[in-house]
Copies of this chain bind each other. A is one copy, B any other.
Amino acid sequence: MAIRPAEQLIHKAAWLYYAHGLRQDEVASQLNISRASVAMYLRKARETGIVNISTSTQLFTDDVMARRLEDAFDLDAVWIAPENGYLADPSTDIAVLAASVFLELVKKGDRIGVAWGRTVYTIADIMSYADLQDVTVVQLCGNLGAPYSYRPDQCTMEIARRLNAKGLNFYAPLVLSTEGLAQGLRAEPVIRDQLAGIADCNLALYSVGAVDADSHLVKCGALSAAEMETLRRQGAAGVIAGQIIDAGGEVLDCSYNRRVISAELASLRAIEKRLMVVQEDTKFEPLLAAIAGGLCTHLVVGAHMAERLLQHAGAATKKAS
């Protein structure tokens, strides 16, 4: 009787165990299989998202600081991961929180835009599985070459896989060598459609990049460290979906940006829920720029960053009055 145990058995086992509250051995006898098999099915059920175990992220929004941040920056919701944390690595804590928040925000039928970066990939990596229907995950920006393990298309696909959703990849390089070529490529029907479809998303997940030599753009060879430094002097404040933004959160007027194939900021702003996750404390300026540009309605940060943001807001208010 070693036919494909199929979803059927997994479902039944999960149902009896989690919904009816039977013990594993009871489930086993009901289904006429060994308890060990039941245990295995249950693990699969969890891994497939047939059962969903989620913990309320309430605690992290309930924080007074989170409320004050929401008010100060006019954000829809803020989650703050305690930094003094119980965990070795605080940035993991942020990612875990972000993953939970993300899953809480996703609904059936959603269309989700996903950008790229270490943060996003970390989140994808620890995110638990879910069994959403009718969900599409679209890639927000072009691809980058090989050496990185977290390429844009991988981020997209991994998240789509975890959600049991459809992944819509972007088959174009992130950055081209001439502006003309970029322009031509953007006009290509395939690419144009995909770019146009981004504004139809109702949820976006991204982080913001720093303008320094550690940036992915540099590491991937899209820009040299020197070029990056030059851009910084010209007013570059952060990186969003592969594009350089200034302190006001607008696209910086520079050759690089004109050579990039990525979501227009206007499209991003058209997305209802824009979840931004920032792990590194060093990304203070970039985050400010992103917020200023209205690129973020939902925010997940660490306690340390939250404090800095509040201080900044306080200072700005004082100066204004």
Which residues of A come within 8 Å of B, CB atoms? Answer: 7-8, 11-12, 14-16, 18-20, 30-31, 45, 49-56, 58-59, 86-87, 92-93, 96-97, 100, 131, 133
Q: Is the interface of A mostly helix, strand, loop or mixed?
A: helix
Q: Are A58 and B53 in contact (CB under 8 A)?
A: no
Q: Are B49 and A52 in contact (CB under 8 A)?
A: no
Q: Shortest distance in angstroms between A59's beta carbon and chain B's nearest beta carbon?
A: 4
Q: Are A54 and B52 in contact (CB under 8 A)?
A: yes
Chain B residue nearest in CB terms to A107: B107
- Of all A-B residue pairs in the complex, the 5 with the closest CB atoms, nearest first, are A11-B59, A30-B86, A51-B55, A18-B55, A52-B54
The distance in angstroms between the C-alpha atoms of A53 and B86, with both chains bound, is: 24
Q: Are A56 and B131 in contact (CB under 8 A)?
A: yes
Q: Are A53 and B96 in contact (CB under 8 A)?
A: no
When distances are taken between beta carbons in the complex, the residues of chain B under 8 Å from A8 are 59
When distances are taken between beta carbons in the complex, the residues of chain B under 8 Å from A45 are 55
Q: Are A53 and B51 in contact (CB under 8 A)?
A: yes
The contact sample of 29 A-B pairs, CB cut-off 8 A, is: A7-B59, A8-B59, A11-B59, A12-B86, A14-B56, A15-B55, A15-B59, A16-B86, A16-B87, A18-B53, A18-B54, A19-B55, A19-B96, A20-B87, A20-B93, A20-B96, A30-B87, A31-B86, A45-B55, A49-B56, A50-B55, A50-B56, A50-B58, A51-B53, A51-B55, A52-B54, A52-B55, A52-B56, A53-B53
